[in-house]
Amino acid sequence: MIQYFHWYTPADGSLWKTVKDEARHLAEVGVNAVWLPPAYKGADGANSHGYDVYDMYDLGEFDQKASVRTRFGTRQEYIDAINAIHDAGMQVYVDVVANHLTGADETEKIKVRKVDPENRNKFISEPMEIEAFTKFTFPGRNGQYSNFVWDHQCFSGIDYDNLTKETAVFSILNEYGEGWEEVIDTENGNFDYLMGADVEFRNPAVREEFRRWGEWYYNAVHFDGFRLDAVKHITPEFFNTWLDQMRGYAQKELFAVGEYWAPGRLDLLVRYIEATNGKMSLFDAPLQHNFHEASKAGKDYDLRTIFHDTLVAVKPLLAVTVVDNHDTQPLEALEAPVEPWFKPLAYALVLLREQGYPCIFYPDMYGAKYTGKEGEGNDREIYLPGVENIDKLISARDRFAYGQQRDYFDHANCIGWTREGDGEHPGCAVVLSNGEDGSKHMEIGRQYAGKKFVDHYGKHDAEIVIEEEGWATFLCRAGSVSVWVMAG
């Protein structure tokens, strides 16, 4: 799949048109599915990235938050883009942000208790009244598609008192219980609350509205799966029910991948998968962190450990492997970018192996340039170059990465593996180095004896002839990757 956006995607309303124009090319390169950003109206209107959710029924159709279109375009342009993706033979994954709403239309006087931000299970005030932005009536939509009104009974937490202008974490006292819902993560005592008006999934009316919205959304655009935002802050029980409902309604196995970003905490990812009974995949945050560390350390990183403590190593069928995403980009809160020199190696490690479902990041295919703020508010211009010949790595997966996999992770600076191929596809041999020029003696299969192999990635002009027993010594350049495939 490809994540067809990044945090600095221009707010000019052009993305859906670009998707439509590029769909055929993506399919020809070898992409099978396109993950699109949140398509509904956010509190920041035309500038919103979609994660500050305001109205999930407004796909760029209503004059709300000072704009009809979203950051990415209009509802019709969105539908046209999805139709183009489907016409090109690919699937569409929509971004679902279920954790919170922002930009309320009215305030309410509500009862809350303040909690310790470091231990949110600990109340640090008696029940008190605040004026909270918790009522969503969506006057610009005027009841079209849904008459549901969100009020404080639909939320478990808020972070602002409009009376005192105080910012804090407040637990809302409603009829569904005092305190937070149970989540897997114990960071801050309980990490149910993230931002905005935190959705109260113990309210059956809220769960029913999400069911209705999901069915409406499916009828509107006929997506093929979901990227589920911020699942670490949402009780697994909600998704267990909602995904079953959506798959039953669509009468097909809608794909789902959750964002549980916890580098270094493989145990939490595994617990979430177990709590959701394997109903969703997760992004492999630990692997992305390993790539980040490896790119910083250079030849001092032991490549034999690149898959240690990663989701793809223990749950390969439920791991979506990423090199970078919009949260790990420079200047973001979770900033952990992979250095450009290492990205071809990282992409080979996710694209050309049997395990995992690889996700390509938009700037790594197209490049991206943007200006952000850092430190004392100084502008910092960032250029993210596209990964050299990434289309060749994608096409190598599509054409050669099949059959038995043999690993040769036996040197700290040079590792490799072979894919033997199957009855329809020839195999390949992959070698990568984070140090000097390297080589790896590997078995690819007796059926290739006497056959000539060439470097599909274009780093070597030489040919390699496979030995009688199906072995050969495959080469790679310093700090690079080579993908050897049968000549012709």
Residue numbers in the known binding site for Ca(2+) are 99, 192, 198, 233
| CA atoms within a 13 Å half-sphere pointing along the CA-CB vector of 425 | 15
If you search the block for the tokens 């009780």, which residue do you land on? 235
Active-site annotation holds for 229: yes
One of 259, 364, 443, 455 is an active-site residue; which one? Answer: 259
> 262 near 185, Cβ under 8 Å?
yes
Closest to 399 (Cα-Cα) out of 366, 425, 435: 425
d(C-alpha 285, C-alpha 338), whole Å:
13
Q: Which residues are annotated as a binding site?
A: 99, 192, 198, 233
Q: Whole-angstrom distance between the N-terminal and C-terminal Cα of the chain?
A: 28
> 238 near 207, Cβ under 8 Å?
yes
d(C-alpha 175, C-alpha 151), whole Å:
12
d(C-alpha 105, C-alpha 386), whole Å:
42
**21 SS3 class:** helix
Token pair belonging to 340: 């450009």
Q: 410: which residues sit within 8 A by CB, 6+ positions away?
A: 304
Token pair belonging to 144: 């079209």
Active-site annotation holds for 259: yes
How far from the centroid of its chain's Cα atoms is residue 338's Cα? 16
One of 229, 324, 443, 455 is an active-site residue; which one? Answer: 229
CA-derived radius of gyration, the chain: 24
What amino acid positions are annotated as catalytic residues?
Answer: 229, 259
